[in-house]
Structure 1
């Protein structure tokens, strides 16, 4: 059975900082990250989706976390076909045409930025979250395949926001496509329902809990992700988690319901449920204090 790692999508969200989840005195980013690692063994970093980090920043992340800790990192918006503001690009690339040459250069710089995480063994996977506008078809498959070719030596996870990719009439083709790319399929939990995904790479499976707000897909970020998972809602996931854990070497479970302390609270609840619900798993689900 897989080693199950549970965490949240970020550790510096302003609502989380205001919630009081961090103890007094944890005002700087180093202390917050070090404290976070005492509670969870995994975190997703979404800031590289908005702007490329520097290698110095990611080296500090690696230095401030213990061996075995994992960072799942979102791909930069331009690489996944999302709208990208000119100001989000490096200054010397802002006048460049939005073409494949630009994407290649962005990928090279992105890979350079993430290299410290990879070399230190801290990189879990690179998450390519594709927008709802990426509908299934040959053109979309070619777009994803091109990204995978750029990232051919990197761990690569795919979350499709258009549910048509996993419609029963197409699910087998999507799974075969991702297996051919050696890309990890990402399962999701949203207001629209649970979107299961098969294990497409033996080394890793990923589940992302986005919350069940009725404003999913519209409204502000706070509206879209405002949800406090109940113990019952998480208990319903245990059979699915167990199925994925039995088919992969490592399972990453991430909570993206990032309002106040809802994400770490849900993550801790799931840790507790797994301790009693999956008694025969190997590895650890957490690095929490008693």
Structure 2
């Protein structure tokens, strides 16, 4: 049985910080991370999607967490084909992106440099054994087909040696007629498929399938089941308090994933107030061995 690690998709989200979840005296940058890491064994870093990570932050994160803690780091938007404003780039690279109107194919050297800086900034985490997966969340425009598969292969070549996880936002990748092909592609790339929980009543809804495509990692991300997905503010899109019944639907799937992967990361992205940490705590209790309630100490070493 693999190690099941449960956490949230941010420890710095403004709604969580203002919710009162962090105790007095632990609300500065260092205190928040140390407190979070005393409660959960894994966290996702989403800030790296909006701007390149820094070596300094990686060193600080490694220093402030236990040896068995894991950071799942979200890939920078430019690396996954998302529109990236010049303001998100390092100052010395902004003129190049502006000159080519955001089209990196017009200057391949720019993309090479961004990939290199992203990887170098994560080296302290990897060297300290804190790096979990690098999460490549691809945009809804990336529909299944040969061009998309070729793009994924190029990403994998650039990310050689990294623990890669892939989340698709186009639902076609996981519809019944394409599950086998998607599973085969990610298995070929040794990239962990990210299973998604979200509302299932919208055209953009990604089916909640959970194939295991890497023996090292499997990932589940809980986005909430709000029908405002894709519209409104971030809080409106992700506002959802999971019930125990909703979480229980995933227990057999998560346990099955843990039979095939060394680590399963279960991450909650319903980031409104403390909803994500409450859901993570509920999931920890549901996954605890029968007759033995989960404790914070147990959670620090996973639930599996």
- So what's the TM-score if we normalise by structure 2? 0.90
Identify which of 253, 256, 261 aligns with 1:240.
Answer: 253
Secondary structure at the counterpart of residue 164 of structure 1: helix
Secondary structure at the counterpart of residue 179 of structure 1: helix
1:15-41 Cα distance to aligned partner (Å, 9 max, x none):
101111011122211000000011000
Counterpart residue number, 2:278: 265
Offset at residue 277 of structure 1 (A): 5.4
In the alignment, structure 2 segments of 5+ residues that lack a partner are none
On the 8 A contact 1:40/1:286 being kept in 2, the answer is yes
Counterpart residue number, 2:242: 229
Offset at residue 266 of structure 1 (A): 0.2
Counterpart residue number, 1:135: 143
Counterpart residue number, 2:173: 165
Counterpart residue number, 1:114: 122
CA-based RMSD of the aligned residues comes to: 1.5
Q: Pick closer, same or farther for the CA change 1:211–1:195 going to 2, 3 Å.
A: same
Q: Pick closer, same or farther for the CA change 1:278–1:132 going to 2, 3 Å.
A: farther
Compare 40-49 and 237-246 and name the one that shifted more: 237-246
Q: Counterparts of 1:102 and 1:160 in 2: how far apart (Å)?
A: 25
On the 8 A contact 1:271/1:285 being kept in 2, the answer is no
Secondary structure at the counterpart of residue 57 of structure 2: helix
Q: Counterparts of 1:139 and 1:278 in 2: how far apart (Å)?
A: 51
Offset at residue 216 of structure 1 (A): 0.9
Compare 189-198 and 68-77 and name the one that shifted more: 189-198
Counterpart residue number, 1:70: 70
On the 8 A contact 1:6/1:285 being kept in 2, the answer is no
Counterpart residue number, 1:178: 186
On the 8 A contact 1:158/1:183 being kept in 2, the answer is yes
Offset at residue 152 of structure 1 (A): 0.8
Q: Counterparts of 1:161 and 1:285 in 2: how far apart (Å)?
A: 33
In the alignment, structure 1 segments of 5+ residues that lack a partner are none
* Aligned length in residues: 284
Offset at residue 285 of structure 1 (A): 6.2
Counterpart residue number, 1:216: 229
Counterpart residue number, 1:40: 40
On the 8 A contact 1:2/1:245 being kept in 2, the answer is yes
On the 8 A contact 1:34/1:65 being kept in 2, the answer is yes
1:47-74 Cα distance to aligned partner (Å, 9 max, x none):
0100012101110000000011000000
After TM superposition, list the pairs within 5 Å mapping 1:74-93 onto structure 2: 74-93=74-93
Counterpart residue number, 1:249: 262
- 2:32 is the counterpart of 1:29: no
1:119-158 Cα distance to aligned partner (Å, 9 max, x none):
0000001000001110111111111111110001111000
- So what's the TM-score if we normalise by structure 1? 0.95
Q: Counterparts of 1:236 and 1:122 in 2: how far apart (Å)?
A: 30
After TM superposition, list the pairs within 5 Å mapping 1:268-287 onto structure 2: 268-276=281-289, 286-287=299-300
